[in-house]
Amino acid sequence: MIAEAGLAALWLAAGLALVQLALGWGAARSGSAELLAATRRVSVAQGVLAMLSFGVLILLFLQSDMSVQLVAQNSHSEKPWLYKFAGAWGNHEGSMLLWVTVLAMAGGGVALVERRIDGKTLAATLGAQAAIAIGFYAFILIASNPFLRLNPPAPEGMGLNPLLQDPGLAFHPPTLYFGYVGLSVAFSFAVGALLTREVGPAFARAMRPWVLIAWVFLTIGITAGSYWAYYELGWGGWWFWDPVENASLMPWLAATALLHSVTVLATRDGLRAWTLMLAVVAFSMSMIGTFLVRSGILVSVHAFAVDPTRGSFILALLGIYIGGALALFGARVSTVTQGSTFQLVSREGALVLNNLLLSVILGIVFIGTLYPLLAQAMGQQLSIGAPFFNKASVPVALVLVVATMAGPLLKWRRDRWGALGRQMALPGVVSVLAFAALAALSGSSDWVALIGLALAAGLAVASVLPLWKRNLRRTPLHIWGMVIAHVGIAVSIAGMASDAAFKQERLVALRTGEATTVGPFQVKLADVRPAIGPNYSAMQAHLDVTRSGGAPFVLFPGQHYFSSPVTTTSEAAIKTMADGQLYTVLGEGTGDGRWQVRLWWKPWITLIWFGGALIALGGLMAMIGRLRRERRPAAGAEDGE
């Protein structure tokens, strides 16, 4: 009965979405306050029903109800409860239900709290949000029903892919989905504003917290996903330019551009059309990402639902929503009056540069991800990997770092080159000195990475300059947020560049008792022995490590053999130190008593994820700061921060 209740809730939610669309449409046309109030209530109810439905699915997984096909295919009664719980979204149907649930919750959230924009635009926004939801409800109910029964029930479940059995990963998809789908609010706001032609600072201020929170979730999701891939896959890399990684990066890039342009719109009433465009693009990228994962048209480790029927369905939805929004944009944007203008050397100018550079990177990632598809259509098989993405995007990213240094130091509307020069003197000198020192002392010949490190140093300095001569206690929270997020970017880039320039790798076959060195470490293979885990057996190596002049420690990299489903995973053992990580992987035995051991010394690599966390923290602070400021009744106009 429980599964049927979940399905019923889902059908009801879908029905309410239809009602919401109709009411929203009516309210947007008539401007009737009663209709708008009804639309709000229906939005909230739809969100609650979707949550209920998803809650039921989680319950079914926790109870290991093997009469439900999805549970039988993706869970196992012997699994630790956390993975039963996470199993609810570790599969196609469940993740789509989570997707639509977040979508409905976001719509409900807008309906509950949004009081600032005019009623017609809000009604159109809620209508647009409902229109998106209807498509995804239809997709789930028609093509991916998670509540299908199995008759007779399975005696036991088939288990969850062991790679996914990791506490970090349990919360990776929901985090990303909150980000992806949170951007749907920006999309719906843009559609609503295009319909009513009400684009201005009030609209931007209403949209901004949603963009910020979605962006924070995306940042956390991408950062955590990167770390997960780093320690779980055992390949020693932290970013693989895999299509699905790119699918999460593209909305992030668009959202990063959006949250900067929306600030221009909120503060200076500029960049109206561009901001609308970005809002549409950001969520479009989220949907394209979903499509790439779900359709299997691009080969990827993430493509766990390779199914052309579902792919066609999602593609049709994409056509309707993205095509529709872009067509609406084309038809309506010329009637959106132009906002205020500005000089080239100004805060707005730097933010436009930031937007352009982010768009270029987005374009590079987009083309690189989809080009294999295009080539395939022309009868060529090829894949595009890290060399293309790195070569094409890193130089643009480095220019973007320079723009990030300058932006916060410029005045709104108009500034002077001379003033900019004075402001940039200190970060510039820091960068040049850092580069000279690195080039002379480090011995690395990876010039791009050294430039990256030098610019990161300059950016760190430039980022805190806006606090100079300010009363720190009276500095608004969103300024702190910007400073911290920008410092986070510097920190993260320093980690990436340091890994590129200074990492050391060693692949050896060792007998027990033999030793090797990597970087400053002496590593001895003391023993390899079998071990037993809760749902796997393993071969585990015992490595004795000494760092020159440091205390010895041990590491236990291993190979895990899972029985349900049958899979082998390599479990890296990582020692984190203040100045980097020693990363060890046990490979296969060579048959003559030797074991492949792979070692990396990665100085400062942890900065990548630490920086990511800082960026997310900065975004969170900016969001809270903005919300608090706008709560104050007197804060009608922005004070130009």
Partner 1 sequence: MKRGLLIWAPLLAFAVVFGFAARELWKPSDRTIASGMVGKPLPQMALKPLLLDRPGFTTAELATGKPRLLNVFASWCIPCIAEAPQLMKLKAAGVEIDAVAVRDKPEAVEAFLSRYGDPYARIGDDPRSAAQLALGSSGVPETFVIDGKGRIVKQHIGDIREEDVPEILAALAEAAR
Q: How many binding residues for partner 1 (CB under 8 A)?
A: 29
Indicate the residue among 15 and 296 with the shorter CB distance to partner 1: 296
Segment contacting partner 1 (CB under 8 A): 2-10, 254-262, 309-317, 633-641?
309-317
Report cis status (omega within 30 of 0) of the bond before 565. Answer: yes
Q: Is residue 315 close enough to count as binding partner 1 by CB under 8 A?
A: yes
**Tokens 């719509």 map to which residue?**
107
Instruction: Report how far Cα 288 is from the mean position of its chain's Cα atoms.
Output: 14
3-class SS string, 334-353? HHCCCCCCCCCCCHHHHHHH
Residues in CB range of 555: below 8 A, 6 or more apart: 543, 545, 573, 574, 575, 582, 584
Helix (H) or strand (E) holding 170: helix 167-170
From candidates 154, 158, 326, 509, binder to partner 1 by CB under 8 A: 326
Indicate the residue among 323 and 533 with the shorter CB distance to partner 1: 323
245 close to 239: Cβ distance less than 8 angstroms: yes
Please choose, from the candidates 207, 350, 367, the residue with its C-alpha nearest in 3D space to the C-alpha of residue 278: 207
Q: Is residue 329 close enough to count as binding partner 1 by CB under 8 A?
A: yes
Determine the Cα–Cα distance for residues 599 and 584; give it in Å rounded to an integer: 5
Residue type, 255: A
Segment contacting partner 1 (CB under 8 A): 218-226, 321-329, 586-594, 616-624?
321-329
Segment contacting partner 1 (CB under 8 A): 3-11, 142-150, 248-256, 329-337?
329-337
Residue type, 411: K
In angstroms and rounded to an integer, the radius of gyration of the C-alpha atoms of the chain is: 26
Determine the Cα–Cα distance for residues 11 and 50; give it in Å rounded to an integer: 9
Determine the Cα–Cα distance for residues 208 and 205; give it in Å rounded to an integer: 5
Segment contacting partner 1 (CB under 8 A): 38-46, 55-63, 310-318, 456-464?
310-318
Smallest separation (angstroms) from partner 1 to the CB of 128: 17
Beta bridge partners of 149: 68
From candidates 4, 81, 334, 385, binder to partner 1 by CB under 8 A: 334
From candidates 113, 301, 327, 433, binder to partner 1 by CB under 8 A: 327
604 close to 498: Cβ distance less than 8 angstroms: yes
Indicate the residue among 148 and 374 with the shorter CB distance to partner 1: 374
From candidates 112, 142, 373, 429, binder to partner 1 by CB under 8 A: 373
256 close to 619: Cβ distance less than 8 angstroms: no
Q: Is residue 337 close enough to count as binding partner 1 by CB under 8 A?
A: no
Smallest separation (angstroms) from partner 1 to the CB of 445: 32
Indicate the residue among 136 and 313 with the shorter CB distance to partner 1: 313
From candidates 279, 322, 345, 508, binder to partner 1 by CB under 8 A: 322
Smallest separation (angstroms) from partner 1 to the CB of 312: 6
What part of residues 234-293 is at the interface with partner 1 (CB under 8 A)? Answer: 273, 277, 280-281, 284, 288, 291
Determine the Cα–Cα distance for residues 435 and 440; give it in Å rounded to an integer: 8
Segment contacting partner 1 (CB under 8 A): 330-338, 403-411, 428-436, 464-472?
330-338
From candidates 311, 519, 618, 619, binder to partner 1 by CB under 8 A: 311
Q: How far apart are the first and last CA of the chain?
A: 56
Q: Is residue 370 close enough to count as binding partner 1 by CB under 8 A?
A: yes
Q: Over the range 567-595, which residues count as b (16 or more CB within 10 Å of their CB) and which as e?
A: eebbbbbbbeeeebbbbbbbbeeeeeebb
Smallest separation (angstroms) from partner 1 to the CB of 373: 6
Smallest separation (angstroms) from partner 1 to the CB of 505: 23
Residues that bind partner 1 (CB under 8 A): 273, 277, 280-281, 284, 288, 291, 295, 297, 308, 311-312, 315, 318-319, 322-323, 326-327, 329-330, 333-334, 370, 373-374, 376-377, 381
